[in-house]
Amino acid sequence: MAMCNNNYQVNDTTGALLALLQSIALEEAALARLLNAEAGKIERAIALSTNINDLIAINETVLTTIQAINNLEDALREKAIAVLEQLNSIR
């Protein structure tokens, strides 16, 4: 039997699905921290920049990161929907 961080044992389908939901929630929290870091990057750039080209370059890197996060969010949403559908089907 595998153990999850919240100390319940995963020994059946429901437990495994709940563990998957927990992992999705942890990934969402990590993505939120990344978005927060990108906001901080923009704030620092605005405070320290001496020319518009620096701001444009930072903006482009932040945009690339946000697009990647958006793609990950889409994948996590699909995973969560699939897990929830499975949970509903075994009720």
**Strands annotated E in the chain:** 2-3, 9-10
- Examine residue 73 and state whether it is found in any structural domain, yes or no: yes
Q: d(Cα 17, Cα 89) in Å, to the nearest integer?
A: 12
Tell me the backbone φ, ψ of residue 43, rounded to 5 degrees: -60, -45
pLDDT for 7: 52
Mean per-residue pLDDT for 51-74? 97
- Examine residue 34 and state whether it is found in any structural domain, yes or no: yes
Mean per-residue pLDDT for 52-74? 97
Rg over CA atoms, the chain: 19
- Examine residue 76 and state whether it is found in any structural domain, yes or no: yes
Q: d(Cα 26, Cα 32) in Å, to the nearest integer?
A: 10
- Examine residue 31 and state whether it is found in any structural domain, yes or no: yes
Pair of tokens at residue 66: 């946000």
- Examine residue 79 and state whether it is found in any structural domain, yes or no: yes
- Examine residue 3 and state whether it is found in any structural domain, yes or no: no
Query: Is 17 in a helix, a strand, or coil?
Result: helix
Domain extent for 61: 21-89
Q: Is a pLDDT exceeding 50 seen at residue 1?
A: no
- Examine residue 4 and state whether it is found in any structural domain, yes or no: no
- Examine residue 16 and state whether it is found in any structural domain, yes or no: no
Q: How many domains does the chain have?
A: 1
pLDDT for 50: 93
2-57 confidence digits (pLDDT tens): 445 555 454 588 999 999 999 999 999 999 999 999 999 999 999 999 999 999 99
pLDDT for 62: 97
